[in-house]
């Protein structure tokens, strides 16, 4: 194990470092941290708190994982940051653990690309296959579903949900839920701009399923009726079609409101 840890690294007593992990120069690993097999901390990485990295994560210089969350309600509780497998975490990324008020766990899934200067705040829940571009920022309690893409310089409000296979453009301010399979653009006045057809194709969704999603999009996000009436209309289109049902159920569960279609001249 010692052969994989650079002499300049500081490893606190109690830290668990797998024999197949590689810890580069000037890294600091705290006493409650756990680094799994195949992980590589390239250099100048700080891992603190009750932080657990799974297997084969690559962490680039000046990343901060598991330090005290930026929440004034945090009182030192032993909350966790749990990171899955095969994630790429680029330079200067920060990820904070959970808080008592949010379930005590911030969780990052598998095979995610978190680009430079991105921030994952306390109690966020990230799925698999997500891309967060440079300087994308998640406030506390944000839930990002599988395959979502968040553009650079985009800020997501606390408690917002980002649906599966959705795509948010750069420099957006997102303060309502972004439905699955949808595009969100428009900068500070962000709103929906149609379906993420490329993302749907990559997931193998095509033909009648895409046509049904287009009809649901018009009903749910371009209709003038209230939410209950729009959901009632949408129900009439549902068959044994998982993407359509996922979209309708996501809207039904929204508590912060859902982004609506944005007119280009708005």
> For the segment 223-245, what is each residue's pLDDT rounded down to a tens digit?
889 999 999 999 988 877 899 99
User: What's the pLDDT score for residue 32?
Assistant: 98
Mean pLDDT of 13-29: 98
Helices 227-235, 242-252: axis angle to 10 degrees equals 160
Q: Put the strands of the sheet holding 167-168 in their side by side order.
A: 22-23, 40-41, 58-59, 88-89, 113-114, 131-132, 149-150, 167-168, 182-185, 191-195
Is 62's pLDDT higher than 90? yes
Question: Contact at 8 Å (CB) between 67 and 96?
Answer: yes
The pairing of strands 191-195 and 182-185 is antiparallel
Residue whose C-alpha is closest to residue 21's, from 49, 8, 2, 46: 2
- When the pLDDT of each residue in the chain is averaged and rounded to a whole number, the result is 96
Q: Is the pLDDT of residue 266 over 80?
A: no
CA 162, 166, 170: angle at the middle one, nearest 5? Answer: 85
Q: Which residues pair with 28 in a beta bridge?
A: 10, 46
Q: Residue 16 has what pLDDT?
A: 98
Rounded to an integer, the average pLDDT of 94-113 is: 98
Percent of the chain whose predicted confidence (pLDDT) is above 70: 98
Res 73: pLDDT:
94
- Is a pLDDT exceeding 90 seen at residue 250? yes
Token digits of residue 260: 């609506």
Enumerate the β-bridge partners of residue 35: 17, 53
Indicate the DSSP class of residue 7: T
Q: Are 139 and 161 in contact (CB under 8 A)?
A: no
**Is residue 117 a contact partner of residue 135, using CB atoms and an 8 Å limit?**
yes
pLDDT of res. 148: 98
**Looking at residue 28, what is its pLDDT?**
98
Weakest-pLDDT range from 9-13, 158-162, 171-175, 259-263: 259-263
Q: What is the pLDDT of residue 22?
A: 98
Say what the pLDDT of residue 2 is.
Answer: 57
Q: Which residues are catalytic?
A: 122-123, 140
For the segment 64-92, the average pLDDT, to the nearest whole number, is 98
pLDDT at 84 over 90: yes
How large a percentage of the chain has pLDDT more than 90? 94
- What are residue 16's DSSP bridge partners? 34
Alpha-carbon separation of residue 85 from 18, 25, 142 (angstroms): 14, 22, 20
Q: Which helix (H) or strand (E) holds 262?
A: none
Displacement of CA 24 from its chain's centroid (Å): 27
Q: Give pLDDT, residue 233.
A: 94
Mean pLDDT of the region 193-216: 95
Residue 74's closest CA among 106, 42, 117?
106
Name the band, by pLDDT with cuts 50, 70 and 90, for residue 1.
Answer: very low
- 138-163 CB burial, b ≥16 within 10 A, e <16: bbbbbbbbbbbbbbbbbbbbbbbbbb
177-195 average pLDDT score: 97
DSSP labels, 167-212: EE-TT-EE-SBBPTTEEEE-GGG-EEEEE-HHHHHHTT--THHHHH
The answer to whether 93 and 111 are in contact (CB under 8 A) is no
- The CATH number of the structural domain formed by 2-144 is 2.160.10.10
Domain boundaries, the chain: 2-144, 205-252
């Amino acid at each position: 194990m010692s052969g994989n840890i650079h002499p300049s690294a500081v490893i606190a007593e109690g830290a668990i470092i797998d024999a197949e992990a590689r810890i580069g120069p000037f890294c600091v690993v705290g006493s409650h941290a756990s680094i799994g097999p195949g992980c590589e901390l390239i250099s100048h990485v700080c891992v603190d708190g009750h932080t657990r990295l799974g297997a084969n994560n690559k962490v680039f210089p000046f990343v901060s994982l598991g330090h005290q969350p930026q929440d004034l309600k945090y009182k030192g509780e032993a909350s966790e940051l749990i990171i899955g497998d095969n994630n790429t975490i680029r330079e200067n990324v920060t990820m904070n653990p959970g808080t008592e008020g949010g379930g005590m766990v911030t969780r990052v899934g598998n095979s995610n690309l978190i680009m430079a200067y991105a921030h994952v705040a306390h109690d966020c829940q990230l799925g698999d296959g997500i891309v967060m571009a440079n300087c994308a920022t998640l406030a506390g309690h944000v839930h990002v579903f599988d395959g979502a893409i968040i553009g650079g310089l985009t800020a997501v409000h606390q408690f917002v949900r980002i649906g599966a296979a959705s795509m948010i453009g750069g420099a957006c301010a997102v303060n309502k839920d972004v439905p699955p399979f949808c595009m969100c653009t428009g900068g500070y006045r962000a709103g929906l701009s149609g379906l993420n057809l490329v993302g749907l194709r990559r997931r193998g969704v095509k033909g009648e399923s895409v046509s049904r999603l287009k009809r649901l999009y018009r009903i749910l996000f371009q209709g003038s009726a209230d939410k209950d009436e729009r959901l009632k209309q949408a129900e009439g289109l549902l068959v044994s079609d998982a993407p359509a049902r996922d979209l309708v159920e996501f809207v039904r569960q929204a508590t912060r409101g859902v982004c609506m279609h944005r007119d280009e001249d708005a």
